[in-house]
Amino acid sequence: MGQNQLLQLVLAALIVATAITIGINLAASSAVQANKDAVISDLYQLSSIARTHYRRLVALGGGGYSFANFKIPKAFVENENGTIEHKKKGHKPDHIHFEATGKNGIDPIKIEARITIDEIELKVLKSKTKKKKKKKK
């Protein structure tokens, strides 16, 4: 083989290796984002269920205009997207807190949700992709 052919072979190998590396990184990033979106979707669904509990009369198994005694349905406690648990025991009558943890293995995410009858507030608590705070010396 001539020197020109070897150079072309090495160049082709580098291009293929770079393309494979970029593809793997994009797939991993996509999996992390998909899991985050799925966990947020679960929190919105749970929010709807909690609000229904809030409005339902106590005699019919609801909260009677309170989030007290709301229990997370088993389908949301743990599923393929992650886990959801009560953040604080003894909820206030006008709001309820949940903490969701994603299950993606690459970059697990934690999201806190505060649900009231009018809104849902989501706050990302943990993600490796966020910038880490520098420690002061």
How many domains are contained in the chain?
Answer: 1
Does the pLDDT of residue 134 top 50, yes or no? no
In this structure, is residue 51 part of a structural domain?
yes
In this structure, is residue 137 part of a structural domain?
no
In this structure, is residue 131 part of a structural domain?
no
Of 26 and 48, which is predicted with more confidence?
A: 48
Tell me what the mean pLDDT of segment 124-137 comes to: 55
In this structure, is residue 74 part of a structural domain?
yes
In this structure, is residue 84 part of a structural domain?
yes
Domain span at residue 44? 3-126
Least confident of 36-45, 56-65, 103-112: 103-112
In SS3 terms, the chain reads as: CCHHHHHHHHHHHHHHHHHHHHHHHHHHHHHHHHHHHHHHHHHHHHHHHHHHHHHCCHHHCCCCCCCCCCCCCHHHHECCCEEEEECCCCCCCCEEEEEEEECCCCCCCEEEEEEECCCEEEEEEECCCCCCCCCCC
In this structure, is residue 7 part of a structural domain?
yes
In this structure, is residue 134 part of a structural domain?
no
Instruction: Name the pLDDT band for 129 (thresholds 50, 70, 90).
Output: low
In this structure, is residue 35 part of a structural domain?
yes
For residue 14, the model assigns a pLDDT of 95
Instruction: Name the pLDDT band for 27 (thresholds 50, 70, 90).
Output: confident
Instruction: Name the pLDDT band for 92 (thresholds 50, 70, 90).
Output: confident
Tell me what the mean pLDDT of segment 1-30 comes to: 90
Global pTM value: 0.76
